[in-house]
């Protein structure tokens, strides 16, 4: 058993715990910030995103949905996505990845190939 206190975890993105089959992370986006371009950051993992506080918008495969406290969003393997804070307070989310998507430093374990990589023989 692991008990993780999340009160002090207010970095933009922090892996909280990793097990063999799943991983938990906390994300905090300041007002107006986003996770970057709409892309598939973790192509081999499902992501369950739970909104702890704040408001935002998720774009998943060009479909938009509004997020607020107690929202739960499933981003399935292979879905391009972006999360944006549309509110005036930080958007705080608890994310579960199955299987784990990040290493202990928060770097992506398996990155999706870009369209250029798909066109280049041998990649």
Q: Which domains does the chain have, with CATH numbers?
A: 13-119 (2.60.120.10)
pTM, two decimal places: 0.83
Give 23-78 pLDDT, tens digit per residue.
Answer: 999 999 999 999 988 887 788 899 999 999 999 999 999 999 999 999 999 999 98
Ranges of beta strands (E only) in 19-115 are: 23-29, 46-53, 56-60, 63-67, 72-75, 81-85, 91-98
């Amino acid at each position: 058993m692991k008990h993780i206190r999340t009160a002090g975890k207010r970095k933009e993105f922090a892996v909280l715990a990793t097990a063999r089959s799943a991983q938990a992370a906390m994300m905090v986006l300041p007002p107006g910030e986003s996770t970057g371009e709409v892309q598939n950051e973790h192509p081999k993992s499902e992501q369950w995103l739970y909104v702890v506080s704040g408001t935002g918008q998720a774009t998943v495969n060009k479909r938009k949905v509004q997020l607020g406290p107690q929202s739960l969003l499933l981003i399935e393997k292979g879905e391009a996505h972006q999360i944006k804070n549309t509110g005036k307070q930080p958007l705080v989310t608890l994310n579960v990845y199955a299987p784990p998507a990040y290493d202990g430093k928060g770097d992506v374990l398996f990155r999706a190939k870009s369209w250029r990589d798909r066109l280049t023989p041998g990649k």
